[in-house]
Amino acid sequence: MKITLIYDNEVYKKGLRADWGFSCLVEVENQPRILFDTGANGKILFDNMEKLDIKPESINEVFISHSHWDHTGGLPDFLKVNPDVTIYSPSSYRPPKAKKIVSIEKAMQIHENVFSTGELMGIEQSLVVKTDKGLVVTCGCSHPEVGNILRAASQFGRVYALIGGLHGFREFILLNDLELVCPCHCTQFKSEIKSLYPDKCIDGGAGKIIEI
């Protein structure tokens, strides 16, 4: 599988724009292309997508982690360009002007080897992909707390990687059994995570490509 960070607070690839928010493209072999969240601003989302040679029309589905503006702000503009995508949304959020919505409350399988943790604590869902190395968990902000997200994901197997916003997460011991961590967006303690886990922690930023 491949994850391309499109929208993030920092830039990894020169020429892209940083902004407060998060979005990434999740590509799993023989499965639909999934846009995870849409960042805060449609123009920045599209500008970065163009520079990364990602065509909005080529995306089949949108997975919204939670309703906050920095994860859904680009969605209205995206739907103008690609109105026929299927949107997987937590049950507490109904995307405006969307034609196809799958409202998710409980953990469920979306495609072969692709799952949702379900909406945890009534606010946020995370995307889980099963790979040969283990589960890859992509999260938006980790509002339900990383421990709860990892436990929810673990019903599908062993967690290999955690990618996305971790907010104020400080229970670093929870990362001991993971093999890859990419803290992005709102993560407050990136430097501490990198210092504790230099061999497994990688930099994020718009333009970063993670292949697993």
pLDDT of 59-97, one tens digit each? 999 999 999 999 999 999 999 999 999 999 999 999 988
CA distance 16 to 54: 13
pLDDT value at position 197?
98
* pLDDT score for 97: 85
Per-residue pLDDT reduced to its tens digit, 187-196 = 999 999 999 9
Strands 23-27 and 34-36 come out as antiparallel
**Fold designation for 2-211:** Metallo-beta-lactamase; Chain A (3.60.15)
What does the alpha-carbon distance between residue 156 and residue 97 come to, in Å, rounded to a whole number?
32
pTM value is 0.98
Residues of the chain below pLDDT 50: none
DSSP string, 183-195: EETT-S-HHHHHH
CA pair distance 55, 82, nearest whole angstrom: 10
Residue 105: the pLDDT is: 97
